Structure 1
């Protein structure tokens, strides 16, 4: 898995892994590989979302600080 993968790419591949697992793959080894890949993809998606939340929070704080400065 590349760190250059976008959130959308990681999510799409994660959905694909889940569909394959739900459909039932032929071997236990394949199931485990899909599960492990899905875990890594889920972690990557979570990291992207945490970064987005952090950026939004920082932006909101910056906007609030700017508004407070304007009021003074």
Structure 2
């Protein structure tokens, strides 16, 4: 479900926040937005970017890779981004 420009970012799903950020970027790149509106859009975009990054960081922290023994049985977990 798309959210309007006044929807609190905390109430948005990650996907909705990302779509809103893409919309902000497209509008800013168009060059057809008055200066005051551009500033407001930039501020909204920065808050959306921060929210998306925070959610991505939280998701990465939860992702773990299952370590298996020679028989294929799980023996534990390691961080997703570890070298092993």
Q: TM-score, normalised by structure 2?
A: 0.67
| Greater fraction helix | 1
Alignment of 1:5-16 (within 5 A): 5-16=12-23
4+ long deviations beyond 2 Å: none
Listed one character per residue, the Cα deviations across residues 17-53 of structure 1 (whole Å, up to 9, x for unaligned) are 0000011134210000000000000000001100110
| C-alpha distance in structure 1 between counterparts of 2:9 and 2:47, whole Å | 11
CA RMSD of aligned residues (A): 1.8
Aligned positions, number: 64
Instruction: Give secondary structure in 1 for the equivalent of 2:32.
Output: coil
Instruction: Write the distance in 1 (CA, Å) between the matches of 2:20 and 2:53.
Output: 14
Give the deviation of 1:2 after TM superposition: 3.4
TM-score, normalised by the number of residues in structure 1? 0.77
Between 1 and 2, higher relative CO (CA 8 Å, sep ≥ 6) is seen in 1
Q: Identify the structure with the greater strand proportion.
A: 2
Mapped partners of 1:5, 1:26: distance in 2: 24
Partner of 1:33: 40
